[in-house]
Amino acid sequence: MQRLSSVPSRTEQVYHSVRESICDCILEPGTHLVQEELAATLGVSRQPIQQAMLLLKNDGLVVESGGRGLFVAPIDRAGMEHHYQIRLVLDQLATRLVAERARSDPGFQSRLRREGDAILAVGKGAEKSGSAAEAVRHDVAFHTFIYDMSGNPLIQPTAEAHWLFLRRVMIGVLLHARRGPLVWAQHQHILDALVAGDVEGAVSLATEHVTGAQNALLQSMASGAADHLFGTKSAF
């Protein structure tokens, strides 16, 4: 076997760039992905573009529509409900494990407070900046922090696949449902319950947080207030 390089390949760089543009809604649902244009924009040949498109199709972020080419995948209500169902279970499990650890370990409790407060401070600042994509990235960072602190190394990679889809809709919800301040207030309450070792309280707050986000999304989709972001009027 050949020795592997630690330097990201062109394909990996293209994949990451396009994926982030999709998750940040820079490339909105239903956008036609013309490989020649992507190659010119990113300054690469068509080969890494083609390989990256295959990876994105495997993720479900890009779809092929007949003979018309590749498009950013639309967002459908049923699919989002399924992602939120998985997220809810993972968040409930993670908060339970973190609160249990905090209740029995003062050192862990202090670390949880210190690192959690730092994430909240940065996240609240990002929310006030007006950049929905940046606010969502910090939102994900808060939840990833809880996954990492749970002690179960399988939670974070399991959740990551679902966050690729959830980030897209969260931007639309933040912009059109004006949930930013509420989201960060709920984060604060969840962290306080975790630090206190309040297992049931933390799980209850996490449940309210996730179901509230899901309900806000479904209401936004139903109202048509963010059709251009959710892709509900695309030609798929």
Same domain assignment for residues 102 and 126: yes
Quick one: 139 and 51 in the same domain? no
Q: Which two tokens stand for residue 116?
A: 């959690």
**58 and 149 together in one domain:** no
Q: Which range (87-91, 200-204, 211-215) has the least confidence?
A: 211-215
The last residue of one of the domains, among 45, 72, 99, is 72
Name the domain count of the chain. Answer: 2
Identify whether 67 is part of a domain: yes
Residues 103 and 165 in one domain: yes
* 46 and 111 inside one domain: no
Q: 63 forms bridges with which residues in the sheet?
A: 71
Task: Tell me: do 67 and 86 sit in the same domain.
Answer: no
* Residue 3, domain member (yes or no): no
Q: Which CATH number fits the domain that encloses residue 39?
A: 1.10.10.10
Residues 130 and 54 in one domain: no
Query: Tens of pLDDT along 140-174?
Result: 999 999 999 999 999 999 999 899 888 888 876 66
111 and 206 co-located in one domain = yes
Together in a domain, 141 and 40: no
8-state DSSP, 5? P
Q: Does 41 share its domain with 98?
A: no
Domain encompassing residue 64? 10-72
Residue 197 Cα distances to 94, 116, 139, angstroms:
13, 14, 22
Residue 232 domain-assigned (yes or no): no
17 and 94 share a domain?
A: no
Averaged pLDDT, 109-128:
91
pLDDT in tens, 6-59: 456 889 999 999 999 998 888 988 999 999 999 999 999 999 999 999 999 999
Domain-terminating residue out of 28, 45, 72:
72
> What's the average model confidence in pLDDT over 57-85?
90
* Single pTM value for the model: 0.84
| Residue where one domain finishes, among candidates 72, 90, 123 | 72
Which residue is associated with the tokens 């889809």? 165
Phi-psi label, residue 117: left if phi above 0, alpha if psi -120 to 50, beta otherwise: alpha
Are residues 138 and 58 both part of a single domain? no
- Give the confidence band of 4 by pLDDT, cuts at 50, 70, 90: very low
